[in-house]
Amino acid sequence: MSRKQQYDAHINSSYWKTVRKLVIARDGGRCLVCNTDKNLQVHHRSYKNVGNEAENLGDLSTLCECCHGLFHSEKAKRRREKRRQKKKAPKNLPLMAMDDRLDMNPASLGRI
């Protein structure tokens, strides 16, 4: 079984259904972001305790389907931006360093 299949099986288990109910009840039966009581889902803030959620209810938050979807797309967007910035940095650095050298040493300008 892949990790995804394992996770899907877990989400469909009666254990998860019980934990899910506990979390939604703890959060007052409402989405923590927009306060709706419709289409509630339980979000894993961390996946390190999957399978042991009942002892780690702090890892879980109640969100509605809409806020949950937004939350994950925002997170994915931030991750993509981070990756882009990392790729750019090594290219720009040597150029900037060269400009600095030229400014600091006017003699090198005469050679160009």
Residues at the contact surface with Zn ion, assessed by CB under 5 A: 31, 33-34, 43, 64, 67
- Cα-Cα-Cα-Cα torsion 70, 30, 17, 6, nearest 10 degrees, comes to 20
Closest CA to 97 of 48, 105, 50, 6: 105
Q: Please state the closest distance from residue 92 (CB atom) to Zn ion, in A.
A: 35
Cβ proximity to Zn ion: between 75 and 83 the closer is 75
Q: Where are the beta strands (DSSP E) in 1-112?
A: 40-44, 60-64
Cβ proximity to Zn ion: between 7 and 15 the closer is 7
Q: Please state the closest distance from residue 39 (CB atom) to Zn ion, in A.
A: 8
Q: Say how many C-beta atoms besides its own lie within 10 A of residue 19's C-beta.
A: 20
Cβ proximity to Zn ion: between 69 and 103 the closer is 69
Q: Please state the closest distance from residue 26 (CB atom) to Zn ion, in A.
A: 16
Per-residue tokens: 63: 């969100």
